[in-house]
Amino acid sequence: MTQGVFRALADPTRRAILQQLRDGPRGVNALAQGFEMSRPAVAKHLKILEEGRLITVEQRGRERLNHLQPEMLAVAQRWLGFFDAFWDDKLANLKLEVERDDD
């Protein structure tokens, strides 16, 4: 699960797609207009985003609307959260250094 999310986030086009989808669901063509690449290329990115469960697809007639599904971003946030303690420790150590650096 974690792998699917981080893999999906690794590509700048895919991250941009997610940001686009914050404004509402979009079809492949609408999305592809925002990028300098062909529709099939964007379609492949969407597939990877779908595999990572960062988007869901709603079929409406001949249209396929790609919806942002931000729940999985929480997986990434949670993983990163495990380092917050380290971050805090480092800041604390730094603080100590600063405090006895009064000469």
Partner DNA sequence: ATATTGTGAAACTAATTGGTTTCCCATAAA
Partner DNA sequence: TTTATGGGAAACCAATTAGTTTCACAATAT
- What is the per-residue binding string for its own copies in 57-96, x denoting contact by CB under 8 A? -----------x-xxxxxxxxxxxxxx-xxx--xx--x--
Integer CA distances (angstroms), 49 to 29, 72, 81, 88, 101, in order: 16, 10, 22, 32, 49
- The CB-of-62 to its own copies minimum distance in angstroms stands at 26
The residue (of 38 and 93) whose beta carbon lies closer to DNA is 38
Q: How far is the CB of 16 from its own copies (least distance, A)?
A: 11
Query: Residue numbers of the site for its own copies (CB under 8 A)?
Result: 1-3, 6-7, 9-10, 12, 15, 18-19, 22, 68, 70-83, 85-87, 90-91, 94, 97-98, 101, 103
Query: Residue numbers of the site for DNA (CB under 7 A)?
Result: 7, 10-11, 13, 27-30, 36-41, 43-46, 48, 57, 60-65
